[in-house]
């Protein structure tokens, strides 16, 4: 069984009268990319700070790499990197020079720097000063500098925040590479479920300081699955027609709806076949539950997330 990297049990944090974290419990195993999803103010950064030991918690237990004692946790945190407090970049230096400055403290050589630049897709930035970098490039460079110490577990706070669609794709690729090439375990956050939907292996939905749902990548794929929706009062007759058409991947919902997960471009043909067999169809169409709608459904809100 994979080693547990982080076990957070019933973490609470109170600021004044505000319970910012309310009994938050999650487990992260080696190799996972764990996405913490929650609207602004849900407590994501506070949780990450607590895990890193940047703030004291008011309740609960943190275990990192099997360590729970103060000294043990200190030792474990040396195997971690974080972008909660982004390191300052020198605006007049290039990407390589910035990493060289950081590396001087970490005892890292030129080969490792070159590899980090490649890993972060910054190897072609040459002498370009970082003050002329895009936000995405700056964010990737900041993450590169957290990798100087060769962490096994990386915490990234909203790594896709503010990026344009291509920047988001690049950031996702880069995070994926960290996992496949370096075996790094990752905890990252976003206020948009969609942005992490193709990258995280596990998701925790944080809402008003509480984890209200946890789901795997497969669970999410099921939620976001596209299907043909057929609404009819004659479900039994309809199912016979579907079976005759050789359609197998469908389910009946609430006795009046059928969700068909295959032959998605054949809604018209399916409709014709149903009508031909005198099945009364009140609605048919292809739908895909948007992830953000799902998120709102979970959080019970209409707020912008």
Ligand X SMILES: Nc1ncnc2c1ncn2[C@@H]1O[C@H](COP(=O)(O)OP(=O)(O)OP(=O)(O)O)[C@@H](O)[C@H]1O
81 binds ligand X (CB under 6 A): no
How, if at all, do strands 80-82 and 59-64 pair? unpaired
Closest approach of ligand X to the CB of residue 195, in Å: 13
3-class SS letters over 47-112: HHHHHHCCCCCCEEEEEECCECCHHHHHHHHCCEEECCCCCCCCCCCEHHHHHHHHHHHHCCCHHH
15 binds ligand X (CB under 6 A): yes
151 binds ligand X (CB under 6 A): no
Beta carbon nearer to ligand X, 140 or 207: 207
| Distant-in-sequence contacts of 7-10, Cβ < 8 A, 24+ apart | 7/61, 7/62, 7/63, 8/47, 8/50, 8/51, 8/60, 8/61, 8/62, 8/63, 9/60, 9/61, 9/62, 9/63, 10/59, 10/60, 10/61
Phi, psi of 25 (to 5 degrees): -130, 125
**CA–CA gap between residue 97 and residue 118 (Å, rounded):** 15
Q: Which of residues 89-128 bind ligand X (CB under 6 A)?
A: none
Closest approach of ligand X to the CB of residue 42, in Å: 4
Beta carbon nearer to ligand X, 48 or 238: 48
190 binds ligand X (CB under 6 A): no
**CA–CA gap between residue 54 and residue 85 (Å, rounded):** 10
Work out which of 46, 94, 130, 139 binds ligand X, going by CB under 6 A: 46
Beta carbon nearer to ligand X, 140 or 191: 191
Beta carbon nearer to ligand X, 39 or 170: 39
How, if at all, do strands 153-156 and 80-82 pair? parallel
Work out which of 6, 8, 42, 305 binds ligand X, going by CB under 6 A: 42
Q: How many residues form the binding site for ligand X (CB under 6 A)? A: 11
44 binds ligand X (CB under 6 A): yes
Closest approach of ligand X to the CB of residue 40, in Å: 3
CB atoms within 10 A of CB 178: 22
Work out which of 8, 33, 45, 139 binds ligand X, going by CB under 6 A: 45
Closest approach of ligand X to the CB of residue 184, in Å: 22
Beta carbon nearer to ligand X, 15 or 90: 15
Q: What is the DSSP letter of 192?
A: -
Closest approach of ligand X to the CB of residue 242, in Å: 44
43 binds ligand X (CB under 6 A): yes
The answer to whether 13 touches 55, Cβ cutoff 8 Å, is yes
Work out which of 31, 41, 53, 72 binds ligand X, going by CB under 6 A: 41
**CA–CA gap between residue 92 and residue 95 (Å, rounded):** 10
Site string for ligand X, 21-40 (x = CB under 6 A): -----------------x-x
Instruction: Give the binding site for ligand X (CB under 6 A).
Output: 15, 20, 38, 40-46, 191
């Amino acid at each position: 069984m994979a080693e547990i990297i982080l076990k957070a049990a019933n973490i609470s944090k109170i600021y004044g009268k505000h319970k910012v974290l309310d009994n938050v419990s999650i487990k992260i195993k080696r190799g996972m990319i764990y996405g913490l999803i929650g609207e602004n103010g849900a407590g994501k950064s506070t949780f990450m700070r607590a895990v890193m030991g940047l703030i004291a918690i008011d309740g609960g237990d943190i275990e990192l790499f099997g360590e729970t004692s103060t000294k043990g946790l200190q030792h474990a945190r040396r195997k971690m990197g974080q972008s909660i407090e982004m390191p300052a970049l020198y605006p007049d230096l290039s990407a390589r020079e910035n990493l060289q400055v950081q590396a001087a403290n970490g005892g890292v050589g030129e080969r490792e720097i070159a590899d980090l630049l490649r890993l972060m897709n910054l190897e072609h930035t040459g002498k370009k000063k970082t003050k002329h970098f895009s936000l995405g490039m700056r964010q990737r460079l900041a993450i590169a500098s957290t990798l100087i110490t060769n962490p096994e577990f990386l915490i990234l706070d909203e790594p896709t925040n503010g990026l344009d669609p291509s920047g988001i794709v690049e950031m996702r690729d880069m995070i994926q590479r960290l996992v496949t090439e370096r075996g790094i375990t990752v905890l990252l956050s976003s206020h948009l479920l969609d942005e992490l939907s193709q990258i995280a292996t596990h998701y925790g939905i944080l809402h008003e300081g509480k984890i209200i749902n946890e789901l795997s990548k497969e669970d999410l794929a099921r939620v976001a699955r596209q299907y043909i929706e057929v609404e009819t009062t004659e479900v039994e007759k309809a199912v016979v027609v579907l079976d005759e058409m050789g359609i197998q991947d469908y389910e009946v919902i609430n006795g009046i709806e059928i969700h068909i997960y295959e032959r998605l471009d054949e809604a018209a043909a399916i409709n014709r076949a149903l009508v031909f067999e005198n099945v009364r169809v009140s609605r048919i169409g292809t739908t895909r539950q948007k992830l953000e709608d799902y998120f709102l459904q979970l959080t019970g809100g209409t707020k912008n997330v």
